[in-house]
Amino acid sequence: MLERFAAGFCECIITLSDVEREDFLARGIGNKDKFITIHNGIDLESYEFIDDKRIEFLKKELAEIIIPQ
């Protein structure tokens, strides 16, 4: 209820995905013209080259940083 009320005072509502925007609209928060979607900007394709061995190595390396022995 408060988000619907506050949306009336906003010039724009920023969402991180189109799904989030559609969810807000379905809940009656704002109108289509107020929404701007700014995606998170992480290119997931650049991480596809990491294989299972590399993942295990990184997990061990991270564990050593978090829990020093």
Express each pLDDT in 25-65 by its tens digit: 999 999 999 999 998 877 777 777 778 888 899 889 888 88
Task: Quote the tokens at residue 39.
Answer: 């995606």
The pLDDT value given to residue 69:
62
The pLDDT value given to residue 55:
86
Tell me the CA distances in angstroms from 64 to 58, 59, 67, 69, one per residue in order: 10, 9, 5, 7
- C-alpha–C-alpha distance, residues 2 and 13, integer Å: 14
Contact 13, 33 (CB under 8 A): no
Phi, psi of 6 (to 5 degrees): -65, -35
* Whole-structure pTM value: 0.56
- 58: Cβ contacts below 8 Å, ≥ 6 apart: 50
